Amino acid sequence: AETKAVAAAKVDARADKNSLKLDVNVFKEKIVHHLRCTIGTSEKKASKLAWWQALVATANELIFDRLTQTQYTHATKDTRAVHYLSAEFLMGRLTVNNLVSLEVYNTAKSALQELGIDINELCEEETDMALGNGGLGRLAACFMDSLATLAYPSVGYGIHYENGLFRQEIREGRQIERPDSWREYGCPWEVCRPESVQEVPIGGFVETQTAPDGSIRKVWHPEHMIKGVPWDIPVVGFRGASVTILRLWESRPTESFNWDVFNAGGYVDAQNEKAAVETISKVLYPNDSTEAGKMLRLTQQYFFSSCSLRDILRRYNRTHFHDYGEFAKKIAIQLNDTHPVIAIPELMRLLVDEEGISWDAAWEIVTEVFSYTNHTLLPEALEKWPVYIFEKLLPRHLEIIYEINYRFLNEVVEAKWSGDDEKKRKLSIIEEGPCKMVRMANLAVIASRKINGVAEIHSKLVRENLFPEFSTLWPDRFCNVTNGVTPRRWMLACNPGLAELYNEIAGKDWPLHLDSCAALRPYADDPQIQKRFMDIKFKNKVALAAEIKKLCGVEVDPHAMFDVQIKRLHEYKRQHLNLLYILHLYRKLLADPAMRIVPQVFIFGAKAAPAYTLAKNIIYAINVIGDKINNDYRIRNQLKVVFMPNYRVSLAEKIIPAADISEQISTAGYEASGTSNMKFSMNGALTLGTMDGANIEIVAEAGVENNFIFGMSVKDVQELKAKGYNPWDFYNSNQDLRAVVDWLDSDFFTEDRQALASIKHSLLEGGDPYMVLADFASYCAAHKRAEEMYADKARWAHAAIMNSASMGKFSSDRSIEDYVHNIWKLKNYEIKDEI
């Protein structure tokens, strides 16, 4: 039965069509109601966690109401929808974002305040949902936010990992990985949907049956069935525009399987099998931009792709009764990188083997519905699977892949390059060699309607360097969609001071129309606005300084220039270039004790893949060098270096609003886009970066003169490589560089000399694959320009404002509109209060 408060709230929520505002008293009553009746505790006894759960339960009332309305509208209109398949969704925390999107954040805050509770403390109770590694997973999360905000019919599909990306602890400077059991005590945002459980076959063999009429039928006899249990996480659009679902699959053993084994008396065996099947969704592979060639990973990919396709077919057939004539009109499927590409042969199999459709008709459907986004050019990230693994796990899929390949090579390639075996070898889905491999990227390109890169330059390199022959074959398939980030999370929710300024200058709709932030640009030289803008920044820096003190035990001065590099640890991202510059500064300060520089705090956050030894050594180097510098009284606190442990979405939300400098220093051509670069600019940091990925587009919007661009361009890198790059040339001809590189091979910083020396080794004997030494001098010069500008407060404020006010293009709403217009061809629908 509805309590009075609930009924009152409903009326209140609907009173104003454009908002779901509740009044403070009603909100208070609801929280207390949930505390008592949903959580089963009382105001006196409740822990912070319990209060947080009651707050979530209160928000969920509004969210599920809105979800029902959204689904009702979509069902009655029989809408076309996009299905975003991604092995990763890095959602982070949901509380602040959901409250802000429902426009009840301030109400909730006041209500809790009256109950004697600080909302910030409650929000800290939430564990990040870290079901992703880095940029790719966070992009998927921003896209969900935009899809819901723009009210496009959509579903996100992924894996319900029991353990997300590992929690990082730093012990004696070294990274230690700890399991991330994000939902150990339950996650109150998710709902289990037993009515939509799926069963997925795996393993076994394929039987070829010949009918009396001579026709051939393939019958797959799988070894196991895996149960896929869906968990739904509602994603709330801004101002409740719509509520979209993120559906994550958890693997379980099927009942029938257990039953048979139990009957045979094999209790222990049954438990073992159960563990094996549950392993599938147990843990996220912690590699970013590198592939882990593990059987379990292919199983994960197949498991969630198959569950998702079955779910899509089930929903389609509710209204189309196995008539697939309309399928491609109603369904678009986006493959987020190669991880879900196994969905291509799986849909062929479902249509041909299970639904009885002809190969040609099925292929027409498949090639209409799928599109593929490429996120990296790094060869080690382009997934390939040994044929023998396919034979074992997915024998029928392998046959289907062979058939797709046979037709492609003999019809398409032969028609274009008749008799050219070299072309066939290169374009084949199967890589020949001692261990035959299935190339997932080739399969993706052959079956997709559109293939996109994630920034202009990256899309160009996808066409020219990665898939030159495919783009000759099908030029119209290739396109670009530059990445974007949601301004709701990355400005409005994480930087309330700045949000308030934009409310005043650009009007309250700027989070929906980020272009309107350009209204601040005419004030870039207005001393009052400059002061206001920089005061907001300063306040954020004070807050971050407190966090640094708490997490690292290091005292930093918020007046110092905060120079930030936060991202996965990878050689191509060149955290070690940053480190060489820090050593260079330190060395200069030691050489000239009277020297005065702009005080600087270098802030790092990064996780390294557990098996990536050099990356872990770089983390260790940052920590031990930082420790030495931070405690060296001779440099009078002019330089501090901190490594913030366990970098994740919720930490980024604290760091980014406080940054002065955004380090985006990848070797040109390697960072497909980058997305933190956009978040930093929005929040008034200046980019110190190379002409790579989206940096190019960012500085085009914000002005090169308001950022610090350095280093080789993509063309320079290509030319130097062609000429033959020799790091020793740079080492030998630059004394400063030589000194800092040699410093790494000393016992000045640590007794574990080997760990630091391994960095030097990779830069010299290792050939410096990412050309750190080649860019060092130019990087130092860019830092010098940054220091000079920082000393000129008005000039700096101008640049910071110009950056923040020029990021309209980088709202993920714009990215989604690009996908919609160029690829998905969707319509959006206003969600009315109809039921």
* Interface with ligand CR1 (CB under 6 A): 134-136, 139, 288-289, 337, 375-376, 381, 454, 483, 671-675, 693
Catalytic residue among 349, 648, 679, 783: 679
Beta carbon of residue 578, minimum distance to ligand CR1 (angstroms, whole number): 17
Q: How far apart are CA 146 and CA 144, in angstroms?
A: 5
675 a catalytic residue: yes
375 a catalytic residue: yes
Beta carbon of residue 138, minimum distance to ligand CR1 (angstroms, whole number): 8
Structure tokens at 725: 């790059």
Which CB atom, from 244 or from 673, has the smaller least distance to ligand CR1? 673
Q: How far apart are CA 328 and CA 435, in angstroms?
A: 36
Rg of the chain over Cα atoms, rounded to whole angstroms, equals: 28
Contacts of 93 (CB under 8 A, 6+ apart): 123, 126, 127, 128, 129, 649, 650
Structure tokens at 549: 């003190």
Beta carbon of residue 665, minimum distance to ligand CR1 (angstroms, whole number): 13
Spacing of C-alpha 461 from chain mean position? 21
Which CB atom, from 103 or from 692, has the smaller least distance to ligand CR1? 692
Which CB atom, from 280 or from 454, has the smaller least distance to ligand CR1? 454
Which CB atom, from 127 or from 677, has the smaller least distance to ligand CR1? 677
Catalytic residue among 93, 252, 339, 375: 375
Which CB atom, from 275 or from 292, has the smaller least distance to ligand CR1? 292
Catalytic residue among 567, 570, 584, 607: 567
Contacts of 200 (CB under 8 A, 6+ apart): 225, 226, 227, 228, 302, 303, 306, 307, 310
Residue 283 DSSP symbol: B
Q: What are phi and psi of 283, to 5 degrees?
A: -150, 140
Beta carbon of residue 466, minimum distance to ligand CR1 (angstroms, whole number): 13
Torsion of CA 382, 178, 135, 768, to 10 degrees: -60
640, 560 contact by CB (below 8 A): yes
Catalytic residue among 339, 397, 573, 574: 573
Contacts of 616 (CB under 8 A, 6+ apart): 174, 175, 569, 608
Beta carbon of residue 450, minimum distance to ligand CR1 (angstroms, whole number): 16
Structure tokens at 374: 């490429």
Beta carbon of residue 483, minimum distance to ligand CR1 (angstroms, whole number): 5
567 a catalytic residue: yes
Per the DSSP assignment, residues forming a β-bridge with 721 are none
The length of the chain in residues reads 835
**DSSP for 106-175, written as a single string:** HHHHHHHHHTT--HHHHHTTSPPEEES-SHHHHHHHHHHHHHHHTT--EEEEEE--SB-SPEEEEETTEE
Which CB atom, from 404 or from 682, has the smaller least distance to ligand CR1? 682
Catalytic residue among 70, 107, 373, 675: 675
Beta carbon of residue 672, minimum distance to ligand CR1 (angstroms, whole number): 4
Which CB atom, from 376 or from 540, has the smaller least distance to ligand CR1? 376
Spacing of C-alpha 273 from chain mean position? 33
Strands (E), 634-793: 639-643, 661-664, 686-689, 708-709
Which CB atom, from 136 or from 566, has the smaller least distance to ligand CR1? 136
How many CA atoms does the CB half-sphere of 451 hold within 13 Å?
29
575, 606 contact by CB (below 8 A): yes
568 a catalytic residue: yes
Beta carbon of residue 376, minimum distance to ligand CR1 (angstroms, whole number): 4
Q: How far apart are CA 151 and CA 173, in angstroms?
A: 46
What are the Cα distances from residue 85, in Å, to 82, 144, 285, 364?
9, 11, 17, 20
373, 481 contact by CB (below 8 A): yes
Beta carbon of residue 419, minimum distance to ligand CR1 (angstroms, whole number): 36
Beta carbon of residue 320, minimum distance to ligand CR1 (angstroms, whole number): 34
Which CB atom, from 284 or from 381, has the smaller least distance to ligand CR1? 381
Q: Count of CB atoms within 10 A of residue 65's CB?
A: 18
Structure tokens at 766: 């290792």
Which CB atom, from 362 or from 699, has the smaller least distance to ligand CR1? 699
The catalytic site residues sit at 375, 567-568, 573, 675, 679
